Amino acid sequence: MNKKSALGKGLGALIPEKSQENKDSINTISINLIKPNNEQPRKNFDEEKIRCLAQSIKEHGIIQPLVLKKEGSLYTIVAGERRWRAAKLAGIKKIPAVVMDLDDKSVLEISLIENIQRQDLNCIEEAQAYKNLIQEFEITQDTLSIRIGKSRAAIANCMRLLALDKRVQQYLIDGVITEGHGRALLALKENELQYKLSQTIIDENLSVRETEQIIKNIHKEKKNKNNIKDNEILPYYKDIKSKLESLFDTKVNLQNNKNKGKIEIEYYSEDDLQRILDILKL
């Protein structure tokens, strides 16, 4: 089975055929023998939701078995970490699970798809998961788009959030600013500016539209400052300008750019022009 072309069709399509042979074989595994997957895309869990799930498990049990991978004497969670955490909280000793023989790439792939399908990842976790899949499978965003059933633009926009300042990314993870705020902040290239504005967003409860307007104002102010700077004449050039004006007895303009510039000598009549040419001995 070509697992690389199976993404986007549900977890069953991701599981290699060998593992599918034992798909209906549900085992009861001691919860103490189960460990979370360190490569799990999801890093943050809503404790309140875990408590609610734990209460549901106490009343109704675990309806959907976990998917596990055996590693030595222990089992690594491929899908179902929320259920495992809730079961531990509920004091459950043994839980139903399907044990499958999966390689590391399949584990990562299945974990990502399960979380995306359940909308369990925050935008930074999702972006990092996309990045991991692209690097691990050496595929393009276009290929990933087909495999997980999301548009390439959605994947690209999500991954761009990883360019944000790490402190801003943490705000997104914590949910104190929205993904829309994050996308707006990408227009600021300086990390410190991103961070300071993100703090303002939190402190003043700014909307995305208000944030975008502030960023427009920042760019406008920068442009005005640059124009002023370009028009400023350094003392060295001021001295040259003064000497030239004394020499030609007329107004002289110096325009200086990075590696080039120009001198403009004003004249007001043909006789005035000839006078300047005589000074230049032309």
pLDDT, one tens digit per residue, over 226-243 is: 554 545 556 777 788 888
Checking if the pLDDT of 245 tops 90, the result is no
User: Mean pLDDT in the chain?
Assistant: 82
Question: What is the chain's Cα-based Rg?
Answer: 32
pLDDT per position as a tens digit, 33-47? 999 887 766 667 778
Cα–Cα distance for residue pair 147/212, rounded to 1 Å: 33
Report the percent of the chain where pLDDT is more than 90.
35
Active-site entry in 48, 81, 109, 232: 81
DSSP 27: E
125 included as an active-site residue? no
Q: Nearest-CA neighbor of 79 among 131, 117, 22?
A: 117
* pLDDT > 70? residue 119: no
Q: Put residue 10 in one of left, alpha, beta given phi > 0 → left and psi -120 to 50 → alpha.
A: left
